Structure 1
């Protein structure tokens, strides 16, 4: 015989520990006894289970239809028997609820079924709890405490709910310890994902965008809009911004007084240098802003959109040819193509970069429609400034340890790898072998990572 009170007390203690509502527990008890009867007696029988929520007493009854002649004793009862056992008022078609007798075997099977169903209900309840908690926080930043480590992830407690942060979603496999408080971006929330209901990330471009929104009130208020973000997590990032108020400088607002705002964000991103770029609806101007401080001699943008019969955008071809001064080619490319890749991802366009000499060899018409004239390019002051940057970079290269970076395949989930074509007269095979960028850097004793856009480097100096 099942001791209903003891069973109920045990299940209630589990529900309190797991924070599962009592009605789910009672539903599990009813379902468990029903399934046990179906397995032990008859799968076609109609069973009702009533649980007294105060005493824990469990009553199981079987529905029987009153008939003149019994053909199925599990579903029917004869009229004469029904009148004898239950009531003289019974008539054909009435439903009789016959009590089910408990025996040891049925009791054991019922308890086992209840346990299995309760476990399932608890899992479902926990899933629903996680889903309901994090769904309103989708695409937002959350902060929690690291409570455990696994081989591939960190387990983070957020207000009593534990989520996983996979190693590949951390910044350059950063070192995180148990007890640390850490912020992350809620990338996706799912009810059914068996691996992780909540997809979290610290390398998603929108993680950077949301950090800026926290630090810059003008972004939170909608005065300044983030148009696009391009990241090489832990190394460098570019953010395109636009001000809806002509009296507010979007770059200055994001950087903050003395770089205070941008410094807070870069500290959270383990030293990731952030370049704020002014967005422009004119593609040529936007690209030149993104390439700064590289000057542009020639720029030609080819934009084509393809629509279906109903007028919906199906595909788009966006490509840009850029000619830069010879002595700024390596700056435009960046170490291992990083600078060019950041620009291409920011403007969402294929970028073809040519040096001035190479453009002449290719027979490219030089329109001088960029942001530098021929006189300025040949101006000794411009040339001296380029060499000055290289000399500073050479000293940094000799005095500082090189940055070690491991490629993170997960970035491809957020940013499509742009197509970058770079042509240089001194390196005929630069298109076929991206490693030639590194060779170019070594020949000039230049660390492009330090040589790259350094307008905001002062804000990262310790």
Structure 2
């Protein structure tokens, strides 16, 4: 067996290195010897292990109950056998301890079992230490140093005050890249008592990360004057923050945005240019929805609290703006309100017979006002007068050839002239007699090929118009945020 002095020295070194209590290691040694005896001899045996902390000596005992009739000799012993073995009288139901001698085979098994149990105890103690250290920091922002990546390349390893945390790739903003030894601002999303990979889960995409950054940047929030009621994010792209002021003399939106946008711009820079829309929270859901959907005007809001959804009707000209590119605007509003939002254009609402309450921030008279329509279409008129030229992507092949298109148009024009001439000057019987000439003409101009090219050209025009429209809507949002 291990020398007692060496054992005590090893226990002290482990406890100091791991920063855990020595009693944890002692408990592991005791449990290891008990498990080893159960595996080597009998699983029902009752084993007691004692370690003298002054010398490191280990003693083991098997507990036996004195009974007149013995059914299990690993647990029981007769009074006569007890007297013979221990040299004294025992009464029924007395408990005696039989010393266990260490033989070579058992000692080898015991060492293996003790090592496993002690390792488990050490890991458990370390996890408990990490949990106690970080549980109060859950939901807070902290700085961490990048030390590398895991073997699979799916997460960054971050050193946070001596503890290794994992920043998973999906928790970074738009797949941002970090260098080793770079310090990163992180949000502690969750602290677990036990986790296979990391007890401390950190994130840069969590909605509350934005809320905490604003709290650091805006004194009115940290002092409790302005409260963040809700946050909705699509990390690295856009976000909406609902704020409320507990002081009637403090404008919550102005406080968050700051002078010339200084405060909100600092937060946006930390979030890789994420556009942040600050809206005023309202206890009345209808008003909150209208605030959240700005700059889109709202015709009607109908809230179904029982089913957790609402119908919102907007002007026809602002439907695309209300939905946003790939639906981002609608998702942000829905996540901000934590309800399902069904957005209809005015025309669609009439067609689908959706009830129009006219309780929004635009009246029926305003909706048909030429001045309102002119303001809505101002951007499109400006775009029509100054068309943008988009640079083709390097990997994008030309969709059609301009010269070929011009030649195609000439062919169509020529074909039309020939057809008009035929029907105007050639009598019907002669036309029938010259069917071979018509077939030859159709073969020369390949009318099927011309029709296919025209169809392809129409598809290109439709796709181009749709893409430009989406980009214009996003440009309109950028202008609004600025």
TM-score band w.r.t. shorter chain: 0.7 to 0.9
Residue-by-residue CA offset, 1:381-439 (whole Å, 9 max, x unaligned):
735754588699977x86999xxxxxxxxxxxxxxxxxxxxxxxxxxxxxxxxxx9986
Pick closer, same or farther for the CA change 1:445–1:74 going to 2, 3 Å: closer
Partner residue, 1:224: 226
* Distance in 2, Cα, partners of 1:131 & 1:437: 57
**What are the equivalent positions in structure 2 for 1:361-380 lying under 5 Å apart?**
367=358, 369-371=360-362, 373-374=366-367, 378=371
The answer to whether residue 333 in structure 2 is matched with residue 343 in structure 1 is yes
- Looking at secondary structure, tell me which structure has more helix per residue: 2
CA distance in 1, matches of 2:391, 2:254: 31
The root-mean-square deviation of aligned C-alpha atoms, in Å, is 3.5
2:195 is the counterpart of 1:204: no
1:452 is matched with which residue? 477
- Are residues 84 and 225 of structure 1, via their aligned partners in 2, closer, same or farther at CA, if it must alter by over 3 Å? same
* CA distance 1:176–1:214, shift in 2 (3 Å): same
SS of corresponding position for 1:452: helix
| Separation (CA, whole Å) in 2 of partners of 1:79 and 1:349 | 77
Instruction: State the alpha-carbon separation in 2 of the partners of residues 14 and 290 from structure 1.
Output: 57
Partner residue in 1 for 2:422:
none
- Deviation at residue 292 of structure 1 after TM alignment: 2.0
The superposition leaves residues 200-249 of structure 1 with CA deviations (integer Å, 9 ceiling, x where unpaired) of 32212111112212222222222212121111110111111111111000
What corresponds to 1:304 in structure 2? 304
Q: Is residue 159 of structure 2 the alignment partner of residue 157 of structure 1?
A: yes
**Higher deviation after alignment, 109-118 or 154-163:** 154-163
Partner of 1:418: none
CA distance in 1, matches of 2:13, 2:68: 49
Q: Which residue of structure 1 aligns with residue 112 of structure 2?
A: 112
SS of 1:154's equivalent in the other structure is strand
Higher relative contact order at CA 8 Å, sep ≥6: structure 1 or structure 2? 1
Is the Cα–Cα contact under 8 Å of residues 61 and 99 in structure 1 kept in the other structure? yes
Matches within 5 A, 1:265-414: 265-296=267-298, 298-299=299-300, 301-306=301-306, 316-324=307-315, 326=317, 328-355=318-345, 367=358, 369-371=360-362, 373-374=366-367, 378=371, 382=375, 386-387=379-380
Offset, 1:254:
0.6
* Structure 1, gaps ≥5 residues long: 307-315, 402-435, 458-462
Counterparts in 2 of 1:154 and 1:377: CA distance versus 1, 3 Å? farther
**1:166 alignment counterpart:** 168
Is the 1:291–1:343 contact (alpha carbons within 8 Å) kept by the matching residues of 2?
A: yes
Q: Quick one: distance in 2 between partners of 1:36 and 1:290?
A: 66
Q: Are residues 1:17 and 2:17 paired?
A: yes
Tell me the TM-score normalised to structure 1 length.
0.77
Distance apart, 1:355 and its partner CA = 4.6
> Partners of 1:204 and 1:68 in 2: how far apart?
69
SS in structure 2 of the partner of residue 98 of structure 1? strand
> 1 or 2, which has the higher strand percentage?
1
Distance 2:113 2:385 in 1: 74
Q: What is the aligned partner in structure 2 of residue 415 from structure 1?
A: none
SS state of the match for residue 96, structure 2? strand
SS in 2 for 1:295: coil
Q: Name the structure 1 match of 2:245.
A: 243
Q: Distance in 1 between matches of 2:382 and 2:206?
A: 31
Indicate the larger mover: 148-157 or 84-93. 84-93
